[in-house]
Amino acid sequence: MQSAAQAYGTVARKTGSPRELEAALLLRAASRLQALHDHWDERRPDGGELEAALRFNRKLWTVFVSSAARPDHPLPAAIRQNVANIGLFVLSHTLAIQAAPRREALRSLININRQIAAGLAAPARSILNRQTG
């Protein structure tokens, strides 16, 4: 299995901006989790495949939380705090799934990753432009 750091490097070479890179990695993590969710009954995850997908997602979110916690990060403090809060939820929820694997528990991780990826993939516009336009 490819580690999150290796995947980050691979996708970075194929994408232009950091936003595109982050969106692509979140979608990759969501896709892996979705495949497990969709085929849960057939595969009955024995831990290896589930663990690998959760580990990839956990490492990805660890990078996001660590980056958001840096005082020199260019995003506004409120957005960094939101990223950190979501990340902490993702990390905590991941540990809960590892302790007691349940198919439906994957849904929240899948949804979070997809929603954040969609936001990153959207054209960057200022809040003022959205309010006045």
For 74-112, how does the pLDDT look when each residue is reduced to its tens digit (9 = 90+)?
Answer: 989 999 999 999 999 999 999 999 999 999 999 999 999
Q: Which residue has the higher pLDDT, 79 or 2?
A: 79
Q: Which CATH number fits domain 4-123: 1.10.287, 3.40.50, 1.20.120, 1.25.40?
A: 1.20.120
Q: What confidence tens digit (pLDDT) does each residue in 12-71 have?
A: 455 578 889 999 999 999 999 999 999 998 876 666 899 999 999 999 999 999 999 998
Count other Cβ atoms within 10 Å, centred on residue 8.
17
Torsion sign across C-alpha atoms 79, 61, 4, 113: negative
Rounded distance between C-alpha atoms, residue 129 and residue 133, angstroms? 5
